[in-house]
């Protein structure tokens, strides 16, 4: 009761606000009903998705295809090292403030909610997963940001699924410039050889089915390079689960 009274008093001084619209909320859900309704959950979309990278197609209806045999042009032209990828949300104008608030704005209390969305989007992947591995930040960026948003998501997912989380198995071998402005080809070049498996944590991944965790899937070049590194070090398979993904729909 004391705890609840304290929380209520605290909320009067520093009220919870919607991370998207900024309006005051009565609880710590982080989202107003309007913001909720504007998010695009990939599972709710009508169209088909690529069986490999999970990218939604805008023009193919679910009824018109065999879900087990369809891949996007990008996956057919350059088959990725990862087996399968899934994401909960489309990264767009409505989800961007939510994700940037989590990534750069210390809104880390959202990780539990995000983990529930990711569990739903990645149910098939998680069924076959032995260990969760977050995409690492270079130590210099980690010091600057103070936390790795992907590691927070992996921890929250680990708690809800009881899957082990290996935060130290994969590390950045070198710092890479941010990729926001780069083309897909330059992104691939930018992350080449950027990761390595830590000597002391090889057993975490040897012979294991890994699920890589990241916040946003853009071109897929980062997770693809992580997958290549993990497979080279003896992982049995690597799949990818993200909170959101960029999609041209």
- Residue 242 touches Zn ion, criterion: CB under 5 A: no
Return the residue of 53, 89, 132, 137 that touches Zn ion, per CB under 5 A: 53
CA separation (Å) from 121 to 54, 86, 195?
10, 6, 26
- Can you list the pairs that 100-108 forms with residues at least 24 positions away whose Cβ atoms lie under 8 Å? 101/19, 102/19, 102/149, 102/215, 103/145, 103/149, 103/215, 104/145, 105/19, 107/19, 107/30, 108/147, 108/149, 108/152
**Which of 72, 133, 182, 240 lies at the binding interface for Zn ion (CB under 5 A)?**
72
In order of 23, 49, 52, 84, 116, the CA distances from 60 in angstroms are 37, 9, 16, 20, 28
Q: How far is the CB of 51 from Zn ion (least distance, A)?
A: 8
Kindly indicate which of the ranges 70-78, 106-114, 132-140, 199-207 contains the residues binding Zn ion, using the contact rule CB under 5 A: 70-78
Is residue 226 a contact point for Zn ion (CB under 5 A)?
no
Q: Which of 20, 35, 50, 157 binds Zn ion (CB under 5 A)?
A: 50
**67 versus 93: smaller Cβ distance to Zn ion:** 67
Q: Taking CB under 5 A as the rule, does residue 165 contact Zn ion? A: no
Q: Is 49 in the site for Zn ion (CB under 5 A)?
A: no
Q: Is 89 in the site for Zn ion (CB under 5 A)?
A: no
Instruction: Report, in Å, the least distance between residue 73 CB and Zn ion.
Output: 8
Kindly indicate which of the ranges 6-14, 55-63, 159-167, 213-221 contains the residues binding Zn ion, using the contact rule CB under 5 A.
55-63
The whole-angstrom separation of Cα 192 and Cα 49 is: 27
Q: What are the backbone dihedrals phi and psi of residue 65, each rounded to the nearest 5 degrees, phi first?
A: -145, 165
To 10 degrees, the CA torsion angle through 204, 103, 218, 162? 30
Kindly tell me which residue out of 25, 75, 135, 238 binds Zn ion, with binding defined by CB under 5 A.
Answer: 75
Give the binding site for Zn ion (CB under 5 A): 50, 52-53, 55, 72, 75
């Amino acid at each position: 009761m004391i705890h609840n009274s304290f929380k209520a008093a605290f909320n009067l001084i520093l009220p919870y606000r919607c991370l998207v619209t900024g309006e005051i909320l009565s609880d710590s859900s982080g989202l107003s009903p309007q913001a909720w309704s504007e998010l695009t959950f990939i599972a709710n979309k009508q169209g088909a998705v690529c069986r490999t990278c999970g990218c939604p197609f805008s023009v193919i209806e679910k009824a018109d295809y065999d879900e087990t045999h369809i891949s996007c042009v990008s996956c057919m032209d350059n088959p990725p090292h990862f087996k399968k990828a899934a994401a909960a949300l489309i990264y767009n104008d409505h989800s961007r403030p939510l994700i940037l608030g989590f990534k750069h704005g210390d809104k880390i209390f959202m990780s539990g909610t995000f983990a529930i969305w990711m569990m739903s989007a990645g149910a098939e992947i998680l069924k076959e997963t032995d260990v969760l591995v977050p995409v690492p930040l270079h130590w210099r960026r980690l010091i600057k940001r103070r936390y790795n948003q992907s590691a927070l998501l992996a921890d929250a997912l680990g708690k809800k699924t009881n899957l082990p989380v290996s935060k130290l198995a994969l590390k950045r071998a070198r710092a890479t410039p941010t990729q926001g402005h780069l083309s897909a080809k330059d992104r691939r070049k930018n992350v080449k050889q950027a990761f390595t498996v830590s000597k002391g944590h090889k057993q975490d991944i040897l012979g294991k089915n890994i699920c890589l965790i990241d916040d946003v899937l853009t071109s897929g070049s980062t997770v693809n390079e992580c997958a290549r590194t993990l497979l080279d070090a003896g992982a049995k398979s690597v799949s990818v689960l993200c909170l959101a993904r960029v999609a041209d729909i």
